[in-house]
């Protein structure tokens, strides 16, 4: 599955809607993604330092909040590089 900036940003925005933390299953359902798809998005976001995962709970980090304030082009480039590194592009 290709992970793009839209998916990572969607995840981060949704986490804010959930108050900054949410269960992986709730995120998958709200994002309309399969477990496999949400895994790849979470892996990319975690490797960007945007989220922290602990016991199936996902929390947005300070870095994640910073990403939400960045220009889209910069985020897109960062996500593409990380996805290529992880082999999810």
Q: pLDDT higher for 42 or 85?
A: 42
> pLDDT digit string (tens) for 14-53?
999 999 999 999 999 999 999 899 999 999 999 989 999 9
Q: Give the domains, in start order, of the chain with CATH numbers.
A: 5-86 (1.10.10.10)
Tokens representing 10 are: 């969607």
Tokens representing 71 are: 């220009």
Query: What share of residues in the chain are helix, strand, coil (percent, to 5)?
Result: 65, 10, 25
**Beta sheet of 21-23, edge-to-edge order:** 21-23, 57-60, 51-54
pTM: 0.81
Residue 65, φ and ψ in degrees, nearest 5 = -65, -40
């Amino acid at each position: 599955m290709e992970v793009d900036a839209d998916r990572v940003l969607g995840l981060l925005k949704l986490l804010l809607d959930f108050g900054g933390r949410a269960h992986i299953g709730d995120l998958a359902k709200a994002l309309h993604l399969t477990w496999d798809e949400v895994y790849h998005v979470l892996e990319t976001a975690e490797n960007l330092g945007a989220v922290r995962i602990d016991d199936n709970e996902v929390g947005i980090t300070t870095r994640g909040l910073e990403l939400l304030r960045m220009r889209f082009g910069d985020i897109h480039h960062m996500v593409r590089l990380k996805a290529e590194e992880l082999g999810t592009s």
